Amino acid sequence: MSHGDLRQVMAPVNARIVELTGVVKLGNGGAIGTGATDVDCIGFSLAKVGGEAGRYRATLHHKFRKLRYAHCVVEGAADAAAAAAKGQVAMLRNVDVANKTLDFQIVTPSLAAGASVDVEPEDGATLRFIIVLDAGKY
């Protein structure tokens, strides 16, 4: 079966738009793993922000004009129910593309009775990132 019709929906690549991806395996207490395969980030590095529960700072390797989109998903360490006291959702904070940084904050899901809480993700969890930036014209 021919899939020639797919060519019609594929948009040409815009040279201004840059997509960065990353996969980071965590150890206990939200620490970033130190093994050879624990950190695989393309175009940025990731560090845990000291003194902030569940906060990770992405530092871009290059300067960009603006952030188009950023997302982090927390992948559970095991095929089991996620602990309510552990972070399961990531939100974006402190976006400063001019200084090449943005923070991802891991939080508990918001409950009807209260707000989300900043906490560490589950021990052994994996963080998966996608960051889309606009290089613009300089």
Evaluate whether residue 7 is within a structural domain.
no
Q: What burial class does residue 49 get, using C-beta atoms within 10 Å of its C-beta: 0-12 exposed, 13-18 middle, 19+ buried?
A: middle
pTM recorded for the entire structure: 0.83
Q: Please write the tens of the pLDDT for every residue from 34-81.
A: 998 999 999 999 999 988 999 999 999 999 999 999 999 999 887 777
**Domain range for 114:** 13-134
Residues in the chain: 138
- In whole angstroms, what is the distance from residue 105 CA to residue 35 CA? 23
Contact status, residue 99 vs residue 64, Cβ threshold 8 Å: no
**Considering the domain boundaries, does residue 1 fall inside one?**
no
For residue 129, is it within any domain?
Answer: yes
The model's pLDDT over 21-34, given as tens digits with 9 standing for 90+, comes to 999 999 999 999 99
Q: Is residue 116 part of a domain?
A: yes
Residue 8 lies in a domain: no
| 6 assigned to some structural domain | no
Please count the structural domains in the chain.
1
